[in-house]
Structure 1
Amino acid sequence: MNTPPSPSPAAERTDGSSVQIGALVPLTRPGWIEAGRHLLAGLELAVGDVNDAGGIGGRPLELVVRDTAADPHRAAAVVDELARLGVAALVGEYHSVVARAAAARADALGLPFLCSSAVLDTLTEQPTEWVARLAPAQSHSWQIYAEFLLRAGHRRIAIAAESSVYWASGARILRAYLAPRGGTVTELDMRALTPTAMCDELASNRATALLLLVGHPQPAMSIVKSVRRDQRLTEIMIGAPAGQPEFAEWAKLLGDDSASIPFLRYLPERLSPLGAQVETALRERLAEAPSFVAFEGYDTVAVLTDVLRTHGTDQARTAESWSRVAVEGTRGKIRFSRTPGISVWQWAWAPIQVVDRDPIEPNRFRILHAG
Structure 2
Amino acid sequence: MTTPPTPLPANPTDEPSIQIGALVPLTRPGWTEAGRHLLAGLELAARDINDTGGIAGKPLELIVRETAADPHRAAAAVDELAHLGVTALAGEYHSVAARAGAIRADALGLPYLCSSAVLDTLTDQPTEWVARLSPPQSRGWQTYADFLLGAGHTHIAVAAEPSLYWASGTRILRDHLTQHGASVTELDMRTLTPTALCDALADRHATALLLLVGHPEPAVPIVKAVRADPRLSHILIGAPAGQPEFTARTTQLGDDGAAIPFLRYLPEHLTPLGTRAEKTLREHLAQAPSFVAYEGYDTITVLAQLLRPHSTNRPRTTPPWPHISVEGTRGQIQFSRTPGNSVWQWTWPPIQIVGRDPAKPDHFRILHTG
Q: TM-score, normalised by structure 2?
A: 0.95
Query: Residues 163-182 of structure 1 correspond to what in structure 2 (within 5 A)?
Result: 163-182=162-181
Distance in 2 between the 1:324 and 1:318 partners?
A: 14
Counterpart contact for 2:17–2:312, Cα < 8 Å: no
In the other structure, the counterpart of 2:106 is 107
Q: Aligned AA for 2:124?
A: E
In the other structure, the counterpart of 1:304 is 303
Deviations 1:63-90 (A, max 9, x none): 0000001110111111000000000000
In the other structure, the counterpart of 1:232 is 231
Deviation at 1:277?
1.0
Distance in 2 between the 1:90 and 1:199 partners?
A: 44
Counterpart contact for 2:111–2:319, Cα < 8 Å: no
Deviations 1:237-260 (A, max 9, x none): 000000010001111111101101
SS at match of 2:288: coil
In the other structure, the counterpart of 2:267 is 268
Alpha carbons of structure 1 residues 324 and 262: separation in structure 2 relative to 1, 3 Å: same
Deviation at 1:309?
1.7
Matched, 1:40 2:45: no
Counterpart contact for 1:339–1:346, Cα < 8 Å: yes
In the other structure, the counterpart of 2:19 is 20
Counterpart contact for 1:311–1:318, Cα < 8 Å: no
Alpha carbons of structure 1 residues 327 and 112: separation in structure 2 relative to 1, 3 Å: same
In the other structure, the counterpart of 2:349 is 350
Distance in 2 between the 1:308 and 1:53 partners?
A: 15
Matched, 1:129 2:151: no
Alpha carbons of structure 1 residues 65 and 76: separation in structure 2 relative to 1, 3 Å: same
Q: Aligned AA for 2:141?
A: W
Counterpart contact for 2:26–2:67, Cα < 8 Å: yes
Deviation at 1:120?
0.5
Distance in 2 between the 1:273 and 1:266 partners?
A: 17
Counterpart contact for 2:18–2:311, Cα < 8 Å: no
Deviations 1:263-309 (A, max 9, x none): 00000011122111111111011000100000000000000011112
SS at match of 2:366: strand
Distance in 2 between the 1:320 and 1:88 partners?
A: 11
In the other structure, the counterpart of 2:320 is 321
In the other structure, the counterpart of 1:219 is 218
Distance in 2 between the 1:300 and 1:313 partners?
A: 18
Counterpart contact for 1:311–1:321, Cα < 8 Å: no
Distance in 1 between the 2:312 and 2:198 partners?
A: 55
Deviations 1:46-72 (A, max 9, x none): 000000001111111000000001110
Counterpart contact for 1:72–1:101, Cα < 8 Å: yes
Matched, 1:67 2:66: yes
In the other structure, the counterpart of 2:289 is 290
Distance in 2 between the 1:318 and 1:260 partners?
A: 48
Deviation at 1:313?
4.5
Distance in 2 between the 1:258 and 1:201 partners?
A: 22
Matched, 1:203 2:170: no
Structure 2: runs of 5+ lacking an equivalent: 1-13
Deviations 1:298-355 (A, max 9, x none): 0000000111124545433573311110010000000011111000000122100000
Distance in 1 between the 2:317 and 2:20 partners?
A: 12
Counterpart contact for 2:132–2:346, Cα < 8 Å: yes
Could you say what the CA RMSD is over the residues aligned between the two structures, in angstroms? Answer: 1.0
Distance in 2 between the 1:293 and 1:182 partners?
A: 34
Distance in 1 between the 2:316 and 2:180 partners?
A: 46
Distance in 2 between the 1:319 and 1:21 partners?
A: 17
Counterpart contact for 1:307–1:318, Cα < 8 Å: no
In the other structure, the counterpart of 2:158 is 159
Counterpart contact for 2:98–2:122, Cα < 8 Å: yes
Counterpart contact for 1:112–1:318, Cα < 8 Å: no
Count of matched residue positions in the alignment of Structure 1 and Structure 2: 357
Deviation at 1:131?
0.2
Distance in 2 between the 1:58 and 1:314 partners?
A: 14
Query: Residues 42-61 of structure 1 correspond to what in structure 2 (within 5 A)?
Result: 42-61=41-60
Distance in 1 between the 2:78 and 2:89 partners?
A: 8
Q: Aligned AA for 2:78?
A: V
Alpha carbons of structure 1 residues 278 and 341: separation in structure 2 relative to 1, 3 Å: same
Q: Aligned AA for 1:135?
A: S
Counterpart contact for 1:308–1:318, Cα < 8 Å: no
Distance in 2 between the 1:318 and 1:266 partners?
A: 31
Alpha carbons of structure 1 residues 152 and 191: separation in structure 2 relative to 1, 3 Å: same
SS at match of 1:167: helix
Alpha carbons of structure 1 residues 324 and 311: separation in structure 2 relative to 1, 3 Å: farther
In the other structure, the counterpart of 1:186 is 185
Deviations 1:31-51 (A, max 9, x none): 110000000000000000000
Counterpart contact for 1:312–1:318, Cα < 8 Å: no
Structure 1: runs of 5+ lacking an equivalent: 1-14
SS at match of 1:69: coil
In the other structure, the counterpart of 2:83 is 84
Distance in 2 between the 1:17 and 1:310 partners?
A: 16
Alpha carbons of structure 1 residues 254 and 195: separation in structure 2 relative to 1, 3 Å: same
Query: Residues 326-341 of structure 1 correspond to what in structure 2 (within 5 A)?
Result: 326-341=325-340
SS at match of 2:350: coil
SS at match of 1:302: helix
